[in-house]
Amino acid sequence: MPAELRTARLLLRQWRTDDLEALAEIYKQPEYLAHMRAVDRDGTAKQIEQFMHRWQDDGVCQWAAVDLATDRLIGRIGLLRHHDWPLAPSPIEVGWVLHRDYWGQGLATEGGRAAMDCWRDLLDDAQLISITVPANDRSRAVMKRLGLTYRGTAQWRGLDVVWYAIDR
């Protein structure tokens, strides 16, 4: 898996400890909290550390997403292997979290497509999934634009979620 990818508007790169403040700011946004659990600053620091280790442990992880025009960290996009997914053993998920200022610009789709290309070209997994809460219509729309289809609901990490997938 490449340590870094470039799309037309994004740099997708590995995480650094100095990404903490920007990611913590995203996790405080009401729009984020409407669909995700709150993550405090310490939890954000721990998550960044986990992201760094997941590259070594799983060979994949979500990248830090940087806006090429401003060099600003605007979120995270990429692939995660979920060892606790209840419906299949250790599937890979394509996912994204973006700063509210960058919604509606096609960046989740652009970055998600680049991540999916890595899945197709570099990984052997027969299926790629994407997970969200049922009310997250924006993420569900991105999943559909990426060609994933609705597969059902699940109880995961204490949440009711919907999941989409694409098969090779």
CATH of 4-167, one of 3.40.630.30, 3.90.226.10, 3.90.870.10, 3.30.70.360: 3.40.630.30
Angle at 13 between CA 26 and CA 55, to 5 degrees: 100
> What are the pLDDT tens digits along the chain (168 aa)?
888 999 999 999 999 999 999 999 998 887 776 677 778 889 889 989 999 988 888 889 999 999 999 999 999 999 999 999 999 888 999 999 999 999 999 999 999 999 999 999 999 999 999 999 999 999 999 999 999 999 999 999 988 999 999 999
- CA 97, 98, 103, 104 dihedral sign is negative
Model pLDDT, residue 41: 86
Instruction: Confirm if 48 and 21 have CB atoms less than 8 A apart.
Output: no
Question: How far from 152 is each of 10, 87, 105, CA to CA, in Å?
Answer: 31, 10, 27
Task: From 23, 37, 130, select the one nearest 76 (Cα to Cα).
Answer: 23
pTM for the predicted model, two decimal places? 0.92
Strand (E) positions, the chain? 4-6, 10-13, 62-67, 72-81, 92-98, 127-132, 149-156, 159-167
Note whether 122 and 1 are within 8 A (CB): yes
**CA distance between the termini of the chain:** 18
Check residue 162 and give its pLDDT: 97
Provide the pLDDT for residue 33. 63
